[in-house]
């Protein structure tokens, strides 16, 4: 039990969410956040100290315990316990209760643990705890709900299929010894949980009940609760409510005797895989003895720190110089897949360039050379203590986590560490021990490595198919040439060496004395024709994308020490300019900014680096477009904002013959005429803050533009009729479709935006209940508040399986929901309306967990040039006098037959060849444009 304290892109990404911010939405803020909970996190006064209360429960059982004849049962049970209880039988009653009181909930199933969590306003914590605990005391799990909820599990599985990370895990798990739980199908789907059990007369419902009785037992559970209530109150509530959770006294599931699951001939081979994304990726993996017991030393963290280093002498530094790689990640994620009681995985994952792919064996050899170099010397105490110091700085000066995430982390830690380390066991390195570090390090040899190579060039050459995700792959022995080389005493590479001392580690944490009046909101301290700076003391877009990618590449090595010393920086090509964002200890932050500005001022690129990023951006744009949700968003914004460059247009433009000269001409024009606007917030004085902007001016020597540049697009006013746009999904391996129905309301003003937030908040739970729980249309179902460059609207989105429902059918169901929602709003009681208003006010009053939340709100005001820093206070005043009739009228006004409606369908299979737009009048359809 913990008591809350009251004072307290794109760059061409290589991870699974590659290019996720490609069209600039999050930084340029052309379109605000997609859900009301995020929308409602606006500006807060310092005097507000309330934050959400939260609870999380971890059960020491997961997918390893699935019965052999019902793959995915643990995951399915995690879904089912939420479907009502004996005391509170309404299926979505808990979700509805949380939505009314500003809360949320979630759950996840891992290999050996399952976690449930929720947050809610403090006033309603006790009641929420009681409702939540009933899922572990007396869940209903009625047969009818079982049949319907299996469709949600199946939808989740279908959505997981197009992700290469999931496909790699399923393929990798299949290499385990027969009978080891790692080879099980953890996701579950309609086939394993409904169709096959019926064919084999297996009673899924009874197995669910039995699994719950066997494993959902109090002695398997750890609970964490956080609130500003007194600890005595919290303990009393927990004892009173949770005492009824049954305790069957049976021994826990234990898999620790199943060691060396990958000690098989199939493991030490080369697997070629056809990826969904157009990328070249290499993963080298080792299966080691379980390392969890060594948490005080954290040997894999030490090794991963070195193998993942990006400074001089590192693997990635050498690969970048050869233009063979764009990114490298090494280590153990500490997820159940990577670390459990049977093994620990150590992996080196490298995103390869085209040239790197064609030289992938040489890339592997460089990794093996670096590991051999590490094995040839004793683990370095100097480096260990440097890492230890950085981790300690991060731990002691960390910003608070969101309460719901904090309790989830703590309740899992309670399963892993002794009680004195519940809060720190997963974060700190306690003691240097060379023997403990050397033990796994010596096992990282070529003879025990698994090699996984992903490339679209493997298409047509991979005859094997993984059973569950259909991943195409082939398997082959390591070529004799390399097997013999790696078996011998191969020489070390002189370009590979240990990192030098890190000069960016902060040592001065003194709080600055303010040199300007204390204010609740930022104040303007510079305003002239070349820039504007706000301060608050606190205790050719393709060429542009290329420019920012290569600038990040140029900075990668010199700024790496700053990155590992907890100084974060981000370079982002927004729709209207370059964003540079820095965060970290103030002591060395100016040093990092100067480094970035120096590289900006002296920008240059080599032809081979330019070519590498041309190819990488092609892949990045493609990766965005094959995701139905991103393609749908791109199409919608292309229709609404005619001057926006869509990702499709960028993809077409980058296929043109661009050269280094084109890029340098663009960069020189970009740097010649600028307007710089910034926000400094944190432990600086205003005098120090002015030096940030001054360094830009002095170093870049730019001129002021003739007029201050615009920061928003002009938005098309939709005609008062229904427009429908269908586009075929570009990913043939993704059997999911997406439907978004968008209603445009008009120019944003503060009152209408607040009404829209309140409306969408009312809509969330009924939308989930109608479209997912009852209609079982898909796993992802949500309404959104839309702010598109200052034009307001709302939408409802459903991601569905094309094999089950057509997009036209789904849109019909969305319309049916909106009709039923309108009736629900008309009949809404005054009490229910006021409860939702109060919940939204409480959300806006909730204390910031991190400084970054306040900075994000203030930066939104700066970057959109609105400067309403006390926006939340004004919105709260609106909420205090809004009426139910006003909200109902607002909804009905924009839902009548002449509403401004745009539907976007991303279809898995579609008869028309590319894209068309049509409108509907009196249920008659006609082709308008093609």
Contacts of 587 (CB under 8 A, 6+ apart): 506, 507, 508, 509
Q: Count of residues for the chain?
A: 930
Structure tokens at 319: 């690969």
Q: Edge to edge, what strands does the sheet with 325-331 contain? A: 325-331, 344-352, 280-288, 450-454, 270-273, 472-476, 464-465
**How far lies 661's CA from each of 305, 543, 606, 725, in Å?**
38, 11, 11, 39
Q: Phi and psi of 663, rounded to 5°?
A: -65, -45
Rounded to an integer, what distance in angstroms lies between the CA atom of residue 198 and that of residue 641?
51
User: Are 516 and 523 in contact, with CB atoms under 8 Å apart?
Assistant: yes
Rounded to an integer, what distance in angstroms lies between the CA atom of residue 497 and that of residue 123?
57
Q: Rounded to 10 degrees, what is the CA torsion of 365, 369, 372, 374?
A: -130
Q: Report, as residue numbers or ranges, the catalytic residues.
A: 78
Buried b (16+ CB within 10 A) or exposed e, 694-722: ebbeeebebeeeeeeeebbbebeebeeeb
Task: Return the beta strands (E) in 232-363 as ranges.
Answer: 270-273, 280-288, 325-331, 344-352
Going by the DSSP 8-state scheme, the letter that residue 192 receives in this structure is: I
Going by the DSSP 8-state scheme, the letter that residue 848 receives in this structure is: P
Rounded to an integer, what distance in angstroms lies between the CA atom of residue 504 and that of residue 394?
14
Q: Phi and psi of 345, rounded to 5°?
A: -95, 140
Rounded to an integer, what distance in angstroms lies between the CA atom of residue 458 and that of residue 476?
13
Q: Phi and psi of 142, rounded to 5°?
A: -70, 150
Could you count the other beta carbons within 10 Å of the beta carbon of residue 281? 21
Burial class of residue 5, CB neighbours in 10 A (0-12, 13-18, 19+): exposed
Structure tokens at 75: 């995951």
Establish how many alpha carbons lie within 13 A of residue 514's alpha carbon, considering only the half-sphere containing its beta carbon.
11
User: Are 792 and 147 in contact, with CB atoms under 8 Å apart?
Assistant: no
**Any alpha helices (H) in 679-731, and if so which ranges?**
686-700
Going by the DSSP 8-state scheme, the letter that residue 339 receives in this structure is: B
Contacts of 626 (CB under 8 A, 6+ apart): 162, 276, 277, 729, 730, 731, 734
Buried b (16+ CB within 10 A) or exposed e, 606-627: eeebbbbbbbbbbbbbbbbbbb
| Sign of the dihedral through C-alpha 416, 422, 424, 429 | negative
């Amino acid at each position: 039990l913990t008591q809350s304290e009251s004072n307290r892109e794109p760059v061409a990404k290589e991870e699974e969410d590659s290019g996720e911010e490609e069209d600039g939405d999050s930084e340029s803020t052309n379109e605000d956040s997609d859900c009301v909970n995020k929308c409602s996190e606006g500006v807060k006064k310092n005097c507000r100290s309330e934050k959400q209360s939260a609870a999380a429960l971890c059960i020491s059982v997961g997918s390893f315990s699935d019965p052999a004849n019902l793959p995915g049962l643990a995951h399915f049970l995690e879904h089912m316990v939420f479907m009502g209880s004996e005391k509170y039988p309404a299926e979505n009653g808990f979700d509805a209760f949380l939505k009314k009181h500003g809360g949320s909930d979630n759950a996840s199933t891992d290999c050996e643990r399952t976690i449930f969590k929720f947050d809610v306003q403090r006033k309603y914590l006790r009641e929420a705890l009681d409702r939540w605990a009933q899922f572990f005391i007396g869940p209903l799990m009625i047969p009818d709900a079982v049949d319907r909820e299996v469709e949600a599990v199946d939808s989740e599985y279908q959505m997981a299929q197009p992700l290469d990370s999931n496909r790699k895990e399923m393929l990798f798990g299949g290499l385990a010894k027969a009978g080891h739980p790692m080879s099980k199908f953890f996701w579950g789907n309609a086939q394993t949980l409904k169709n096959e059990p019926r064919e084999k007369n297996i009673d899924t419902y009874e197995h669910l009940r039995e699994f719950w009785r066997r494993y959902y037992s109090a002695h398997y559970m750890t609970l964490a609760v956080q609130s500003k209530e007194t600890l005595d109150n919290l303990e009393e509530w927990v004892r009173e409510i949770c005492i009824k959770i049954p305790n069957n006294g049976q021994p826990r599931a234990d898999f620790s005797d199943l060691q060396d699951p990958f000690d098989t001939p199939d493991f030490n081979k080369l697997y070629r895989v056809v990826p969904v994304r157009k990328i070249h990726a290499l993963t080298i993996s080792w299966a080691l003895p379980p390392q969890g017991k060594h948490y005080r030393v954290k040997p894999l963290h030490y090794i991963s720190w070195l193998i993942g280093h990006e400074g001089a002498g590192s693997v990635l530094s050498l690969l970048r110089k050869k233009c063979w790689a764009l990114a490298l990640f090494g280590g153990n994620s500490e997820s159940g897949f990577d670390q459990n009681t049977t093994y620990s995985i150590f992996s080196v994952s490298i995103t390869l360039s085209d040239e790197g792919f064609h030289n992938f064996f040489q890339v592997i050899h460089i990794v093996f050379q670096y590991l051999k170099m590490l094995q040839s010397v004793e683990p370095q105490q100097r480096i260990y203590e440097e890492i230890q110091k950085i981790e300690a700085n991060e731990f002691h000066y960390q910003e608070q986590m969101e309460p719901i995430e904090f309790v989830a982390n703590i309740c899992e830690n309670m399963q892993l560490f002794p009680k004195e380390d519940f809060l720190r066991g997963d974060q700190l390195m306690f003691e240097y021990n060379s023997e403990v570090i050397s033990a796994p390090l010596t096992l990282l040899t070529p003879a025990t490595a698994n090699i996984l190579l992903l490339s679209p060039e493997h298409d047509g050459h991979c005859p094997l198919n993984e059973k569950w995700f259909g991943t195409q792959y082939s398997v082959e022995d390591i070529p004799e040439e390399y097997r013999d080389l790696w078996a011998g005493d191969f020489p070390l590479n002189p370009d590979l060496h240990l990192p030098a001392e890190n000069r960016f580690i902060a040592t001065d944490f003194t709080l600055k004395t303010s040199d300007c009046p204390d204010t609740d909101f930022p104040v303007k301290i510079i305003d002239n024709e070349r820039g504007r700076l706000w301060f608050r003391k606190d205790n050719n877009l393709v060429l542009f994308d290329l420019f920012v990618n290569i600038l990040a590449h140029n900075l990668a090595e010199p700024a790496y020490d700053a990155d590992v010393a907890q100084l974060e920086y981000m370079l982002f090509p927004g729709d209207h300019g370059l964003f540079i964002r820095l965060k970290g200890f103030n002591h060395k932050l100016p040093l990092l900014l100067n480094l970035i500005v120096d590289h900006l001022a002296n920008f240059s690129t080599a032809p081979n680096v330019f070519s590498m990023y041309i190819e990488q951006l092609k892949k990045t744009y493609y990766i965005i477009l094959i995701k139905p949700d991103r393609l749908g968003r791109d199409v919608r914004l292309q229709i609404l904002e005619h001057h926006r460059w869509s990702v499709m247009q960028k993809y077409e433009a980058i296929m043109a013959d661009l050269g280094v000269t084109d890029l340098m001409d663009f960069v020189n024009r970009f740097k010649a005429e600028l307007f710089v606007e910034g926000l400094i917030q944190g432990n600086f004085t205003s005098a120090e803050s002015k030096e940030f902007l001054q360094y830009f001016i002095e170093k870049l020597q730019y001129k002021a533009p003739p007029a201050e540049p615009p920061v928003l697009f002009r938005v098309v006013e939709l005609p008062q009729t229904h427009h429908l746009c269908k586009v075929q999904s570009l990913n043939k391996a993704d059997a999911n479709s997406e439907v978004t129905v968008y209603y445009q309301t008009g120019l944003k003003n503060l009152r209408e935006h607040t009404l829209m937030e309140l409306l969408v908040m009312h809509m969330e739970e009924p939308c989930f209940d109608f479209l997912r729980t009852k209609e079982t249309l898909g796993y992802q179902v949500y309404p959104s508040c839309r702010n598109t460059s200052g034009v307001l609207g709302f939408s409802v989105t459903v991601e569905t399986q094309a094999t089950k429902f057509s997009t036209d059918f789904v849109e019909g169901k969305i319309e049916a929901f909106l009709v039923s929602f309108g009736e629900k709003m008309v009949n809404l009681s005054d009490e229910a309306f006021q409860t939702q208003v109060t919940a939204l006010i409480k959300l806006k009053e909730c204390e910031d967990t991190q400084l970054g939340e306040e900075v994000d709100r203030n930066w939104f005001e700066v970057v959109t040039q609105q400067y309403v820093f006390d926006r939340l206070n004004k919105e709260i005043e609106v909420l205090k006098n809004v009426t139910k009739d006003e909200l109902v009228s607002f909804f009905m006004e924009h839902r009548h037959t002449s509403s401004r409606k745009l539907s976007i369908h991303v279809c898995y299979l579609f008869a028309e060849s590319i894209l068309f737009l049509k409108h509907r009048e009196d249920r008659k359809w006609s082709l308008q444009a093609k």
